[in-house]
Amino acid sequence: MKTRITELFGIEHPLLCPGMTYVANADLVAATSNAGGLGILAIGHLTPAQTLDEIRRVKSLTDKPFGIGCALLMPGARENLEVALAEQVPVVNFSLGSGADVCERVHAYGGKVIATVVSAKHALSAQKAGVDALLVTGHEAAAHGGSVTSLVLIPAIRQVTNLPIVAAGGFGSGAGLVAALSLGADAVAMGTRWAATQESPVHQTTKSMIVDKQVEETIYNANFDSMPCRVMATPNAKKVTAKKLSLWRAVWRALQAARDTRRPVGSLIRDVFKMGFAQTLKVTFFGASILSIKRATIEGDHQRGVQLIGQVQGLVSDVPTVASLTQRIMHEAEIALQSLPRAEQPQEAALACGLFRRSG
């Protein structure tokens, strides 16, 4: 199956594993790329040395294209980005910041750039910066999806830009892929679905919870890390998100997280206070959430941890390998096309609608 995204990145299937904190490690990223998709390595919680190790591990596990995810606003992001640029990572996916300089430097060595956006305004800014594609994150997504659902957000952004779009938020099957393509996207990112695979580092307890939870069992508000965020509904998550985190508790937790991730506290503080007051507050509250995320995701501790998750958890019923899941999704996409009404020859109908491009 060919779309503008598969052609842009030189991949087989229009499927991405997004750069999920603590989830998208070298093993999961390489497995995704080896299966024909595009894996995006999460580096925001790593030190530069750890980032280098993870990038080189991906390279040792696959010769296929892969990327890194970088939230430019966060302390240490630029240092980690420098490592990725020095390693000439094929794809850089940035968010929370202006990426004009990133585009220039990545394009200099022949790489590609994806900007994560949640609105048409963000999309136009990213286009002006020179990005190659957009990762459009709808309301259904885990963590910091936008305020508008994917069903409306994707066509809204398609109306203002012709850039290739990767749709994220609410997608976990082949039918979802076909739906995204029909809305104007060129690929999908399925974070929650990829988190519940055998290669994923997510704790088995948490994987089992993903399988058991229903679509409505999530919480979406700004009380977890100061930005509207979607998490799995558990007793601890309900308690944590019931009221806003105080500034002083956020500072204390952020410093604890810095120590846990081996970031020098002094340099962290200097980075943070280079920002304006509003940005400093945002970063502090986000930093306070890191340990909670790690406890739930990696340790399976839901008494103290909080799991970032999308509504699509309710569509997850098993924990397959990445390779088998990829093949399943593409098979489901074919079945979804064949089930469309009044389509006597589904493949030709799809080609006529511009959903796919024929190989060769």
pLDDT tens readout for residues 208-266: 999 999 999 999 998 888 789 999 999 999 998 998 765 555 555 555 555 555 555 45
**pLDDT number for residue 75:** 75
Residue 89 forms part of a structural domain: yes
pLDDT tens readout for residues 308-358: 999 999 999 999 999 999 999 999 999 999 998 864 555 555 554 555 554
The reply to whether 177 and 69 lie within a common domain is yes
Residue range 39-63: mean pLDDT, rounded: 96
The reply to whether 154 and 210 lie within a common domain is no
Residue 359 forms part of a structural domain: no
**pLDDT number for residue 282:** 52
The reply to whether 193 and 272 lie within a common domain is no
pLDDT at 114 over 70: yes
CA geometry: angle 223, 256, 275, nearest 5 deg: 65
The reply to whether 307 and 327 lie within a common domain is no
- C-alpha pair distances (Å), 282 with each of 116, 121, 224, 288, 306: 18, 21, 11, 10, 18
Host domain of residue 168? 4-201+320-353
pLDDT tens readout for residues 250-267: 555 555 555 555 555 455
CATH of the domain at 172: 3.20.20.70
The reply to whether 254 and 279 lie within a common domain is yes
Residue 19 forms part of a structural domain: yes
Any idea which of 8-17, 25-34, 343-352 has the lowest mean pLDDT?
343-352
Residue 360 forms part of a structural domain: no
The reply to whether 286 and 334 lie within a common domain is no
Give the total number of structural domains in the chain. Answer: 2
The reply to whether 300 and 268 lie within a common domain is yes
**pLDDT number for residue 360:** 39
Residue range 174-190: mean pLDDT, rounded: 98
**pLDDT number for residue 264:** 54
The reply to whether 128 and 30 lie within a common domain is yes
